[in-house]
Amino acid sequence: MSELIHLVTDSTADISPSDADALGVHVVPLIVRFGEQQFRDGVDIDADQFYTKLEHSDVHPTTSQPSPDAFATLYRTLLANPEDEVVGLHISAKLSGTLQSATLAAQEFDPARIHLVDTESVSGGLQLLVRAALDDIRAGDTAAVVAEKASRRRSKVTILVLLDTLTYLHRGGRIGRAQAFVGGLLNVKPLIAVRDGEVVPLARLRSRSKGIDMIVDQVRGCAPLRSLAEFHAAAAESMVDLEARLGAAFSNVTAVLGRIGPVVGAYSGPGGLGVACLGAD
């Protein structure tokens, strides 16, 4: 049996368990906490349960990176065959310490066989990079090349999120330069982007449909596209509009549809609508 390349990511890629199984991707869960209660993202709590809890909970959820041990355990299993290698694509190191835990585990285990990439991305953006890397593995690239291609591709990822409110991002301390948008007395829908791994403000819009207009414009600016991902946080109805608009504009691009999971949802808050696109190589 020839050597295998195992693709590892984390739960902020918002890949559903069934997709992960079908794709053959290993997902390490981050942790979401409501006070004393602690859940593994996507394992102990799914998106539906999370948003229901978010709505009813008095405490604001917090999140934490997986322990190095969680990575070490997985690497040990995956790399039982000494020929095998791991490519780990993870959430932006500016947003989470996940990559830090993975790096510690890799150093303990066997750094030469574990190729870690800071994707400077999250959610749908991270997922598109994971899916592109799977294509590379299938095409026969070596682990080092897969990791290198992923690093090069991250500049081609655009992530846009139309939020209902900045409250969650603000409370969670991940607001970055979108700080400038905080505190408005008017009801505005902030459109943010994740750029170079950080949250940056794009626009303040007075309605969701104006936000969707702007998203479509921004995505147009990224063409030609390799792939597209559309995600929502308990905003299925708005997602229908978004799908229709993007579907009409990019009928020849396959779109991954999904939900913003618990950990990312703790920052986007309910009502968030996200789009990620990956430009062609």
221 belongs to the binding site for other proteins (CB under 8 A): no
Residues listed for the chain: 281
Q: Where does this chain touch other proteins (CB under 8 A) — which range of 138-146, 165-173, 199-207, 229-237?
A: 199-207
201 binds other proteins, rule: CB under 8 A: yes
Cβ nearer to other proteins, comparing 185 with 236: 185
The count of residues interacting with other proteins (CB under 8 A) is 18
Residue 207 binds other proteins, judged by CB under 8 A: yes
Smallest gap from Cβ 92 to other proteins, in A, equals 19
Q: How far is the CB of 161 from other proteins (least distance, A)?
A: 17
Please tell me the distance from the alpha carbon of residue 253 to that of residue 262, in angstroms, as a whole number: 27
Amino acid found at 245? R
Q: Which stretch binds other proteins (CB under 8 A): 61-69, 206-214, 216-224, 234-242?
A: 206-214
Using CB under 8 A as the binding rule, whether residue 35 contacts other proteins is answered as: no
From the list 234, 52, 85, 246, the residue with the least C-alpha distance to 158 is 246
Could you give the dihedral angle defined by the CA atoms of residues 268, 165, 270 and 154, in that order, rounded to the nearest 10 degrees? Answer: -20
User: What is the rounded CA–CA span in Å between residue 82 and residue 195?
Assistant: 37
Residues 6+ apart with CB under 8 A from 11: 27, 28, 29, 30, 40, 41, 42, 261, 262, 263
Kindly list the residues in this chain that would bind other proteins in the complex (CB under 8 A): 177, 180, 183-188, 200-207, 209-210
